């Protein structure tokens, strides 16, 4: 089930205008044109990375001024405050930011993160009751709560104040909280709704620092804290896959620059365990593929509290122990992931015909609830189908719990809403969601869900396009060109690393598998006498076809700079390949 390659058309005149008006190189101008960033003010804004001008003042964020006043009053009155977080990397970093801020100001504060396996997502009456019994007088949510109307009412009935900070889609009715901070709060018209939970928490912490000092101009005590906090916000921003545009670009840019200098001992040791400590500079990909998975592993295996402790810990010995434990959790998560993925592919082979099905709804007793989301994402990527993986209870004591991942632009939330009569509950957004269901309803749900997907796109449209920014010669992939491309970083959602292709390429030597189980490939590509190293992560199965003698292939790839022991070189991360027999159609 291959990808459909399309070479994006270029407007040569527009590229030249961008090059002249904004003083950028031709390759950067070409990518900006393809991204629709063409007006001089747009381009200036895209490259404006200053915190003072690239980030809007905190008081402009909807609901922030009122929330700051409410929280600061509680701090001054020595009320017992609990920061109520979430168990993913965005939730952990949000919790750590706000907890450390209130503690810095002198508040009486603790934090609570639900156990993914026992408590489920978001606010729950049971957890709020526990916090009430422990004496909590104010609850501040981070990365959750915007749809928790009954839970907020319950908290207030117990005499607790509650402030909601969130970024998820608000419903038609807002919870009756004492304050709500949300970039898309109705009636405000904030110009950028793409902040993640940690981005919102960072803005709130910034506002609290200002009110405590009594001025927007902050002394070193608060500036140093905010430089540390923006590093955590960068982790949440990358891991929550929000658009790396506008304020998020500024947060990630400065977070990466500040990460080493202002990291607490826990983050410092995590960077070491992730084996990126020796890199001259950190990139967004280091967060996405090294730091984030380790934090998320703690949450997926029911240990999110330890993730927050790591990010707030000031003891070097405790930080090292936590980092080592979380690294081991990530290894355990990886083992579970591979096991579940293997059984899911076996189910598909025996019971499904992906090319004739609009979506894959897979179920198995005992799949680990914290890991099925990762496996669903890998299945969706491989088979180009929206994928739902449902774990049922072998003993029948609980409903089935499912994780959903989208493909080919299908809006999962709308598809689930269209067949919600089969579900106990569901939630999420268009790219990822979760659900619970009685096992007896799974077959009927599968049928209706596939129909909902087909109502959005046809089976033929479920062959994803691979949009290629430009065709390139291997000999042109130089360090100078890469230094130009890196000016477009940080790369991520809505600002992906450019995709190029090269045609008529041979392998200079047989492909070599990498990794303990041969999951990855290392290749030496050759074209017109020029050679370059290529890596294909998770594509070990390509080895057989690519190993054919004297065969020519076309490769689609992302060029990157590899930095190893002080030596920098250009290499390519391969996305797809095909026999070199046809031209790439332009669009």
234-287 pLDDT, tens per residue?
999 999 989 999 999 999 999 999 999 999 999 999 999 999 998 888 999 999
Of 293, 327, 361, which closes a domain? 327
Q: Helix-strand-coil percent breakdown of the chain, rounded to 5?
A: 45, 20, 35
Structural domain ending residue among the three candidates 462, 495, 515: 462
Q: Does the residue 337 lie in any domain?
A: no
Same domain, 92 and 42: no
Give yes or no: residues 119 and 224 share one domain.
yes
H or E segment and range at residue 226: helix 220-239
pLDDT at 587: 59
Element (H or E) spanning 91, and its range? helix 89-105
State whether 304 and 405 are in the same domain: no
Domain of residue 290, CATH code: 3.90.1640.30
If asked whether residues 316 and 214 sit together in one domain, one would say yes
- The pLDDT tens digits of the residues spanning 285-331 come to 999 999 999 999 999 999 999 999 999 999 999 999 999 999 999 99
> Would the pTM of this model clear 0.75, i.e. be above it?
yes
Whether residue 560 has a cis bond before it, omega within 30° of 0: no
Strand partners, 501: 471, 556
Query: Which portions of the chain are predicted below pLDDT 50?
Result: none
pLDDT of the residue at 122: 86
Q: Annotate 488-503 with DSSP letters as a single string.
A: GPSPBTTBPPP-EEEE
430 shares a domain with 508: no
Per the structure, how many domains does the chain have? 4
In a shared domain, residues 118 and 261: yes
Is residue 341 situated within a structural domain?
Answer: no
Count of CB atoms within 10 A of residue 478's CB?
11
> Does a structural domain hold residue 392?
yes
- Same domain for 175 and 244, yes or no, is yes
Q: What are phi and psi of 526, to 5 degrees?
A: -135, 135
Question: Would 6 be classed as within a structural domain?
Answer: no
The answer to the question of residue 386 being in a domain is: yes
Which range marks the domain in which residue 430 is found? 352-462
Question: 462, 494, 516: which is the final residue of a domain?
Answer: 462
Predicted pLDDT of residue 542:
92
- The neighbour count for residue 320, using CB atoms within 10 Å, is 18
Is there a single domain that holds both residue 66 and residue 172? yes
| The pLDDT of residue 549 | 82
- Residues 219, 70 within the same domain: yes
H/E run at residue 442? helix 442-456
Question: Does residue 408 sit in the same domain as residue 391?
Answer: yes
Please indicate, yes or no, whether residues 480 and 400 belong to a single structural domain of this protein. no
- The CA–CA distances, whole Å, from 125 to 120, 149, 406 equal 11, 11, 31
CATH code of 482's domain: 2.40.50.460
* Paired tokens of 525: 């590509």
- Nearest-angstrom CA–CA distance, 447 and 399: 19
Can you give the pLDDT at residue 206? 98
Query: What is the pLDDT, as a whole number, of residue 188?
Result: 93
Closest CA to 233 of 213, 216, 256, 212: 256
Are 90 and 210 in the same domain? yes
User: What average pLDDT is seen over the chain?
Assistant: 94
């Amino acid at each position: 089930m291959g990808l459909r390659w399309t070479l994006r058309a270029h407007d040569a005149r527009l590229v030249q205008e961008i090059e002249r008006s904004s003083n950028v190189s031709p390759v950067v101008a070409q990518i900006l044109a393809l991204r629709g960033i063409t007006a001089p003010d747009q381009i200036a804004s895209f490259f404006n990375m200053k915190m003072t001008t690239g980030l809007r003042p905190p008081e402009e964020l909807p609901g922030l001024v009122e929330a700051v006043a409410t929280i600061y009053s509680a701090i001054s009155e020595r009320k017992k405050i609990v920061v109520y977080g979430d168990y993913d990397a965005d939730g952990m970093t949000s919790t750590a930011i706000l907890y450390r801020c209130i503690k810095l100001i002198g508040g009486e504060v603790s934090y609570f993160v639900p156990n993914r396996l026992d408590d489920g997502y978001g606010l729950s009456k049971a957890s709020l009751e526990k916090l009430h019994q422990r004496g909590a007088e104010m609850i501040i949510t981070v990365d959750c709560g915007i749809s928790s109307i009954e839970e907020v009412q319950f908290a207030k009935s117990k005499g607790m104040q509650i402030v909601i900070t969130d970024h998820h889609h608000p419903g038609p009715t807002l919870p009756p909280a004492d304050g709500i901070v949300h970039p898309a709060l109705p009636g405000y018209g904030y110009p950028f709704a793409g902040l993640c939970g940690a981005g919102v928490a960072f803005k709130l912490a910034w506002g609290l620092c200002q009110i405590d000092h009594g001025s927007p101009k902050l002394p070193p005590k608060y500036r140093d804290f905010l430089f540390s906090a923006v590093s955590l916000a960068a982790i949440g921003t990358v891991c929550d896959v929000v658009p790396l545009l506008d304020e998020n670009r500024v947060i990630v840019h400065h977070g990466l620059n500040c990460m080493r200098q202002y990291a607490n001992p826990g983050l410092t040791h995590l960077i070491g365990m992730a084996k990126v400590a020796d890199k001259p500079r950190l990139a967004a990909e280091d967060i996405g593929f090294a730091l984030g998975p380790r934090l998320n592993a703690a949450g997926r295996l029911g240990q999110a509290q330890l993730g927050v402790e790591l990010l707030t810990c000031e003891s070097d010995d405790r930080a090292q122990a936590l980092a080592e434990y979380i690294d081991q959790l990530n290894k355990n998560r990886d083992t579970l992931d591979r096991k579940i993925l293997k059984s899911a592919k076996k189910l598909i082979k025996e019971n499904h015909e992906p090319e004739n099905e609009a979506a894959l709804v897979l179920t198995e007793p005992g799949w680990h609830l914290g890991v099925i989301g990762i496996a669903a994402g890998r299945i969706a990527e491989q088979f180009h189908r929206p994928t739902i993986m449902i774990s049922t209870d072998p003993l029948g004591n609980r409903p089935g719990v499912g994780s959903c991942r989208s493909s080919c632009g299908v809006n999962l939330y709308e598809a689930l809403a269209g067949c919600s009569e089969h579900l106990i509950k569901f939630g999420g957004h268009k790219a990822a969601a979760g659900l619970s269901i009685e096992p007896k309803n799974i077959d009927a749900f599968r049928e209706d869900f596939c129909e909902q997907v087909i109502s959005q796109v046809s089976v033929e449209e479920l062959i994803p396009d691979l949009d290629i920014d430009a065709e390139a010669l291997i000999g042109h992939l130089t360090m100078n060109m890469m230094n130009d491309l890196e000016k477009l970083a940080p790369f991520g959602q809505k600002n992906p690393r450019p995709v190029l292709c090269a045609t008529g390429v041979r392998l200079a030597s047989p492909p070599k598998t990498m990794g303990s189980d041969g999951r990855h490939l290392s290749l030496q590509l050759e074209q017109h006498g020029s050679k370059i190293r290529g890596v294909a992560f998770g594509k070990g199965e390509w080895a057989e076809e690519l190993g054919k003698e004297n065969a020519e292939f076309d490769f689609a790839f992302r060029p990157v700079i590899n930095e190893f022991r002080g030596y920098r070189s250009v290499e390519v991360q391969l996305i797809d390949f095909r026999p070199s027999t046809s031209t790439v159609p332009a669009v």
